[in-house]
């Protein structure tokens, strides 16, 4: 198996294995999916930390308003009345005004925090140091663990506009966000070696040869296509005879 060490800039991201006979069309999509999947887990973990601290998302028309403004406008958080955490809520105001302040109790809070830490570990960059390859199955497992924890704490579910629920349903809107700039469209991803495109019509072995102990150091650089640039992976190759 050829070992790909995927980096962004000089920072390690993850390890991935693929046979030299792998079609580059398949490999390009595989790398992009794992890369994007890790980003999704990271986004979910970030939002779930806020969920544990401040409860569910407020309706869009109530976010950022003071209590007096909400009362004056006669606005009502109907989903907040439905989506109550197991064991009851503990009020903890969200100073940013995004979430309703009805946080889970300490026991349920720890369910969320423990699970998100486990999910982070699965897709952590430290897996590179440990020599552990990250697969799409591992990413899906992390997502399933996060979904399960939310179901335990919020058996009635989350509002459809909560970023966590939108991520679970793959309906997240990242347009105009920094997170959105990091996502790589599979159809636009390219693999490059020595400033040359590794064409999807060829196989990995056409570039690295038949040595299945080859180590590929892949540098990932993304520039948003919306700014008239392209998404590309710059790949440099190193042969490491010690790689098994």
Domain residue extents for the chain: 2-47+107-222
Model confidence pLDDT, tens digit, residues 144-155: 999 999 999 999
Model confidence pLDDT, tens digit, residues 8-25: 777 789 999 999 999 988
Q: What is the pLDDT of residue 52?
A: 98
Average pLDDT over residues 235-244: 48
Task: Indicate the DSSP class of residue 185.
Answer: -
What pLDDT band is residue 91 in, cutting at 50, 70 and 90? very high
Give the residue ranges of DSSP H helices in the chain. 24-54, 67-72, 78-82, 106-122, 126-129, 136-153, 163-168, 178-182, 205-208
Q: Which strand ranges, in their side-by-side order, compose the sheet holding 11-18?
A: 11-18, 2-8, 214-222, 231-239, 191-193, 196-197
Distance CA 123, CA 107 (A): 25
Average pLDDT over residues 43-57: 97
Cβ–Cβ < 8 Å for 66, 54: no
Q: What is the pLDDT of residue 224?
A: 44
Q: What is the gyration radius of the CA atoms in the chain, in angstroms? A: 22
Average pLDDT over residues 191-208: 78
Distance CA 30, CA 48 (A): 27
Average pLDDT over residues 194-221: 79
Highest mean pLDDT among 19-33, 114-128, 198-212: 114-128
Per DSSP, the three-state class of 239 is strand
Q: What is the pLDDT of residue 185?
A: 86
Q: What is the pLDDT of residue 235?
A: 45
What pLDDT band is residue 195 in, cutting at 50, 70 and 90? low
Residue 203 burial by Cβ neighbours in a 10 Å radius (0-12, 13-18, 19+) = middle
pTM metric for this prediction: 0.87
How many other C-beta atoms are found inside a 10 Å radius of the C-beta of residue 224? 16
Distance CA 75, CA 97 (A): 14
pLDDT at 138 over 60: yes
* Residues forming beta bridges with residue 91, ordered by sequence position: 102
Instruction: For 206-224, give the DSSP string.
Output: HHH-S-TTEEEEEEEEE--
Cα angle, residue 183 at apex, residues 180 and 188 outer, rounded to 5° = 125
């Amino acid at each position: 198996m050829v070992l790909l060490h995927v980096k962004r800039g000089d920072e390690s991201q993850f390890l991935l294995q693929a046979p030299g006979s792998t079609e580059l069309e398949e490999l390009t999509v595989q790398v992009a999916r794992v890369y994007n999947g890790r980003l999704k887990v990271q986004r979910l973990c970030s939002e779930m930390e806020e969920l544990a601290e401040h409860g569910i998302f407020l309706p869009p028309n109530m976010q950022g308003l003071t209590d007096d403004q909400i009362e004056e406008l006669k606005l009502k958080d109907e989903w907040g009345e439905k989506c109550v955490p197991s064991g009851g809520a503990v009020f903890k105001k969200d100073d940013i005004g995004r979430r309703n302040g009805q946080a889970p109790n300490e026991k349920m809070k720890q369910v969320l925090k423990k699970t998100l830490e486990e999910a982070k570990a699965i897709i952590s960059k430290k897996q590179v140091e440990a020599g552990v390859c990250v697969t799409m199955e591992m990413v899906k497992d992390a997502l399933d663990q996060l979904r399960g924890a939310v179901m335990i704490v919020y058996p009635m579910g989350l509002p459809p506009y909560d970023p966590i629920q939108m991520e679970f349903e793959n309906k997240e809107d990242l347009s105009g966000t920094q997170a959105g700039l990091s996502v790589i469209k599979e159809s636009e991803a390219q693999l490059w070696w020595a400033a040359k495109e590794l064409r999807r019509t060829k196989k990995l072995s056409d570039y690295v040869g038949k040595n299945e102990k080859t180590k590929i150091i892949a540098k990932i650089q993304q520039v948003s296509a919306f700014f008239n640039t392209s998404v590309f992976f710059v790949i440099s190759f190193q042969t490491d005879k010690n790689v098994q």
